[in-house]
Amino acid sequence: MGRATAEHYARLGAHVIMLARSTDKLEQVAHGIVQNGGQASYYAVDLSDAEAVAATAERIESDLGTPDIIINNAGAGRWLPLVETPPEDARQMIELPYLAAFYVTRMFLPAMIARGHGHVACVTSPASYIVWPNACGYIAARHALRGFTEAMRREMRGTGVGVTLVVLGTVSSPYWSHNPGSREHLPATLPMLMPELTTEQAAKTIVGAIEKGKSRVVRPWFYRVLIALNLNG
C-alpha cells in the first residue's frame, strides 16, 4: 500500500520521500519511480525509534526541506486473543502505527505550522472504531492512532495544516503473510460483505482524501454503516 501510494504521487509530479526499515525495498521502489520519470528519495529508519526518527527528519529538512504532506502508513500487529498476545507484540503494535505517527509528525509539524500550510494523513483500519474478539492488542493500538489523529486535527484548527484519517478495510497486500494467525481471526461475515481493496484502490483513496481536504474517509463504503452502528450500539 505504501509503495502504491508513493508511485501514485510520483505520477502526479510529487517528489516522494519514503521511510522504512528495509533499504533494499526502499531502493527498489525508488528506482522504479525514477525509471518512470518520477522523483523519489528514501531514508532507511526504524520508525519505532524516536531518536532515529529525529535524526532522519533533520537529514530530510537539510536535503529537501519540510514535506508538504505526511502520510503515516506504518503498521504492524497480529490479530490474537489477549491471552495469546505476547507483551512484546503488544508493545510493537503501539510503536507501529501510533508512536511512529507521533514521532514523524512531531518532527515536521512545527515547520508546517510556521509556513501556514501542509497536510497530515494517518492510515488505519476499521478497528479504530469497530471492536471484535481475538484482536485485543491490535484494536487498542488502532484506537490510539485514531485518538492521536482526531486530537491533532483539533490542535491544527486555524493553522493551515489539514489532518485526515483514512480508514481502509481489508487490503490485498503482504500484511497477512507478515502477521501469521491474523486472517484466521477475521470476523466470518466480513469477507462476504466487503471485498478486499487492491493496493492501487487504497492509494487512490489516500491521495483523493488529501486532495479534497477530508477529515475522514472510509472505504469500502459499507464500513461507514458498521461504524455508525458500532458507535450507536
**43, β-bridge pairs:** 19
The CATH number of 68-232, from 3.40.50.720, 3.40.50.1820, 3.40.309.10, 3.90.120.10, is 3.40.50.720
- pLDDT of amino acid 187: 61
Pick from 126, 127, 125, 120: which is nearest to 151 by CA? 120
pLDDT means per 10 residues, the chain with 233 residues, are 97 98 96 98 98 98 98 89 95 96 98 98 95 93 97 98 96 64 57 74 97 96 84 56
Pick from 6, 88, 86, 102: which is nearest to 49 by CA? 102
C-alpha neighbours within 13 Å on the C-beta side of residue 181: 11
